[in-house]
Every structure is written in structure tokens, then in C-alpha cells.
């Protein structure tokens, strides 16, 4: 069975999220191999990896900002209002910046994208555990 890059990213992100459960909200660590960084809640790692076309709604709270290895980044923010209306703006902006966009999963709250620099990327929206909504952006660079 062939596993696509997006499936591998989604599976890796899910595994990362499951492994992070119970670590608390002040996690700032790296794995023994030094290939994963997690910033404290509310802090931000350098985000030059994220396409400029993805403008995040304000106000928002960073719940996770993670670097996995040297090529993959994952950002999760929490917003109060449902951000699904942002998908049309994100798609138009990504396409204007030369990204190939796949909107086949919009019904599931996911927009996929790629470019010469981005092997695979995704914007996903889902309900937060307590209140509000999570916007997750993950990108694997070439």
C-alpha cells in the first residue's frame, strides 16, 4: 500500500499530538536527537516557513508551534469564531502566490497546497476541546 506525503504528515501530526497529551501548557523541550522543538504556549518559533499568503485571524492564541526534523513545521492556534470562511481567502492568496491548491477536502475542513518549495502543506480547521476553533497549519518543505 502506497502512503502519500499528506497521509504521512497527517499521521505524524496525529502521533505528535497524541504524544504531547499530558505534557502541560508550558512545554519547551527537544527530543534527545534534537529534531523536535516545541515552544511554550503563547510563544512563537520563527515562522519563515509559513507561506505569506496564509494570514491568520486576529486575535488568536498559539497552542502549539513545533518543528519536526529539518523540513516539517506545525502550528496550531485557537480562535473564538469559526474561521471556515477564511478558506476562500487562503485559497485565492495561495494560488496568487503560485501554489497548487487542492480543495477536495474542504468538506472535512482541510485545504491542501504545494509548490516548488513546499512538498506538502495543509490548513485544517476543527473545534477546540474547550471552546472556539483550532486552525492548524503544517508544512513540509522540499
pLDDT (tens digit, 9 = 90+) per residue, 100-120?
999 999 999 999 999 999 999
- Is the backbone peptide bond immediately before 13 cis, with ω within 30 degrees of 0? no
Helix (H, G, I), strand (E, B) or coil at 130: coil
Task: Indicate the average pLDDT of the chain.
Answer: 79
- Please compute the mean of the pLDDT values over residues 18-32 and round it to a whole number: 35
- For the chain, the structural domain boundaries read 5-141
Q: Which helix (H) or strand (E) holds 75?
A: strand 72-79
Report the range of poorest mean pLDDT among 4-8, 78-82, 120-124, 132-136: 4-8
Highest mean pLDDT of the ranges 23-27, 44-48, 78-82 = 78-82
Amino acid at each position: 500500500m502506497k502512503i502519500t506525503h499528506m497521509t504521512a504528515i497527517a499521521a505524524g501530526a496525529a502521533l505528535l499530538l497524541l504524544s504531547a497529551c499530558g505534557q502541560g501548557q508550558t512545554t519547551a523541550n527537544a527530543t534527545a536527537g534534537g529534531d523536535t522543538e516545541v515552544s511554550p504556549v503563547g510563544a512563537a518559533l520563527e515562522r519563515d516557513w509559513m507561506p505569506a499568503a496564509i494570514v491568520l485571524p486576529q486575535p488568536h492564541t498559539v497552542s502549539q508551534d513545533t518543528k519536526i526534523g529539518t523540513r516539517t513545521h506545525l502550528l496550531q492556534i485557537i480562535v473564538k469564531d469559526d474561521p471556515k470562511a477564511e478558506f476562500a481567502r487562503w485559497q485565492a492568496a495561495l494560488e496568487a502566490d503560485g501554489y497548487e491548491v487542492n480543495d477536495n477536502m474542504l468538506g472535512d475542513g482541510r485545504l491542501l497546497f504545494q509548490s516548488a518549495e513546499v512538498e506538502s502543506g495543509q490548513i485544517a480547521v476543527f473545534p477546540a476541546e474547550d471552546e472556539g476553533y483550532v486552525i492548524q497549519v503544517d508544512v513540509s518543505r522540499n
